[in-house]
Amino acid sequence: MEGFAQKMTGLVAGPTDAAQSDIPWYLRYGARGLGIFGAFFAILFGFWNCFGVLTINFSSVLSGILQILVGILVMSIEAPVCCMFIDYAQKFAQTVESRPQWWRAAGYCAAAIPPVLLEPGLASIFGCGLIFATGVLYGMMSLGKKATLEQMRQAAAATSSDNRNGTMRPGNNLVNNAQPLSFTPPPYDSNV
């Protein structure tokens, strides 16, 4: 019984990452909650799309199958406790957790698009839209923390003082050798 209790504790706790310490708790848990919620509805609406077999709509069935697979994939990453009897689900979730946040963001956004392209109905849009929104949240988390107000003011003051002195900052080199505009008359033709 101890083995089962330890396994449950490990599944519920999940891996801790020092890189996520600067991410606000509400964004971290909100993205995870939205992922679980979206995965549940993706699976549910995937089964709904599979009823397209009754109307002989192959794209609806294929969209439903893809949506179910995407939902199971997201559920196994976000809530490995739901897949505790699948041995490799915990290892897969830990592997994904060890990767940078933008990988998860790109994966969720890319996985949510094909079912909607195959069957652009409300069931596909809602189910995969929640997973896409989860990817967007993870993308926002991968951008990192915004600078403080004081740091932004200092950067703005440095930029404006550099531009007043006539020097350009290293990133502001769109037009290095700009010359003032002037009117040049057409050349004089002595033959006329």
Distances (CA, A) of 163 to 102, 167, 170, 172: 35, 6, 12, 10
Q: What is the dihedral of CA 69, 71, 76, 81, to 10 degrees?
A: -130
The predicted pLDDT at position 170 comes to: 54
The predicted pLDDT at position 3 comes to: 65
The predicted pLDDT at position 50 comes to: 87
Mean pLDDT by 10 residues, the chain (192 residues): 60 50 83 93 91 81 92 91 79 86 92 91 90 93 82 76 54 57 74 72
For residues 93 and 98, what is the distance between their CA atoms, to the nearest angstrom? 9
